[in-house]
Amino acid sequence: MRASRNLILLWLLYVLMLQAFTSSAQPVTQIAAGGYHSLFLKSDGSLWVMGYNFYGQLGDGTYNNTNLPEQIVVASNVTMIAAGSVHSLFLKSDGSLWVMGSNNNGQLGVGTSIAKTNWPEQIMTSNVTAIAVGGAHSLFIKNDGSLWAMGWNNNGQLGDGTYNNTNRPEQIVSSNVKAIAAGGSHSLFLKSDSSLWAMGYNNAGQLGGGTTSKTNQPEQIVASNITAIAAGSFVDGQGIFHEHSLFLKGDGSLWAMGANNYGQLGDGTYNSTNQPEQIVASNVTAIAAGGGHSLFIKSDGSLWAMGRNWYGQLGDGTYNFTTNRPEQIVVGSVAAIAGGGDFSLFLKNDGSLWGMGTNTFGQLGDGKSNFKTDQPEQILGPYNQIQTTGQLMGGTNMQLNFVGVANANYALDRASSLSPPNWIPQATNPAGSFGALVFTNAPDPTTNNFWRIRSVP
């Protein structure tokens, strides 16, 4: 019996060590920032949410705000996320499209006039490859390169040749679309030949076509060499949309057009422009547009920002109302960025999540009720490998010692099988100041029990 017990112990320890050094703590891999809510993905495909939830845009089955990251249990194998003003979209690895939140203009594409939903709802079963969310409209691309749209269309942002809303996805372009971006009431897309196209509201020249006239059909703006696009929007107290657009060229140059009343174009003025103008000549690798502010990353991993800063969303340590020139916020190691209504998120190369700006509804996910913050604040810690050892404690009890990130939270899960696994949480404890943590559990020698350690917010 002792030999059998020791064999089980050794086998269990091997499984735990294998899990620890291949999976261990899950880094954040993708972020999305909405009007006042945030989404992020971890490397295990789990979806996490925080912030404003009056319309159910967090998809947790409630309409309650949360200031801590919350896992959406029905959302596994998630590959892409998008956050709008008060609705959210995500894709799963099977190409299915899921939606939650406000539907007052049909932006969820569920084919009904339901005002909102607080639970993820599937609207496409397969073949969706990319998503983008605007103020109250949604865009997606299928694997055949076709572009589809639904929702609010009073300014022609759906590009279907009308100004009518629709609560069902409708095809806008039949092929060759490879990237999309959505502002408050305008839309951008790239074709496979790297040409830039736009449609919708154009009061400040955000479409970049040399006019300020809106259009309800796609219009080519730049013929070639575009590699990335972003669309931002801010609605002022009078309900006027101040929208802007950003794009990158193949040489790493950053270009901008549209509203510039907060300096969000970064050209040193506060003048809007209806034609693309070059802001940075080279070395820009990623862009994001928020509510009157803009973010970009350079090839050295540095983070830069410009525009509206009333709530500290630029993260420069001030609450200066605006800045019209790009200013460096983080020196290096920034991997991804997202611009929200009056806040910003970014990821570092170590998988840590950071945020700055307004936190009125808990959208920064720091567990605090602070109104705003003007400097980057770490929301989730870095990804570190976990070291684990086992010690028999008598009977069938086993003590597991491992070293993770100091003061981080970890959970121990159990499954009776790995084909497929059905992980059941066993414990969640904070590590000590040196990262040391002890779990004590009792493997059942009569059952094949598998165990894993994972990080949690």
pLDDT digit string (tens) for 189-239?
A: 999 999 999 999 999 999 999 999 999 999 999 999 999 999 999 988 888
Q: Which of 229, 218, 293 has the alpha carbon at shortest distance from 255?
A: 229
How would you label 419-429 residue by residue, b for 16+ Cβ within 10 Å and e otherwise?
eeeebeeeeee
Rounded distance between C-alpha atoms, residue 133 and residue 135, angstroms = 7
3-state secondary structure 340-370: CCCEEEEEECCCCEEEEEECCCCCCCCCCCC
Backbone angles phi, psi at 27, to 5 degrees: -75, 155
Please tell me whether residue 177 adopts helix, strand or coil conformation.
strand
Q: List, in order of start, the domains of the chain with CATH numbers.
A: 2-24+384-456 (2.60.40), 28-380 (2.130.10.30)
Helix then strand count (H, E) for the chain reads 1, 34
Q: Tell if the pTM clears 0.85, that is, is over it.
A: no
Give me the amino acid identity at 441. Answer: N
pLDDT at 396 over 50: no
How would you label 189-201 residue by residue, b for 16+ Cβ within 10 Å and e otherwise?
bbbeebbbbbbbb
Give the pLDDT mean for 239-255: 96
Contact present, 285 and 319 (Cβ < 8 Å): no
Give the pLDDT mean for 11-32: 50
Peptide bond into 457 cis (omega under 30): no
Q: What is the pLDDT of residues 98-120, one digit of tens each?
A: 999 999 999 999 999 789 999 99
DSSP code, position 382: P
Residue-level pLDDT at 370: 78
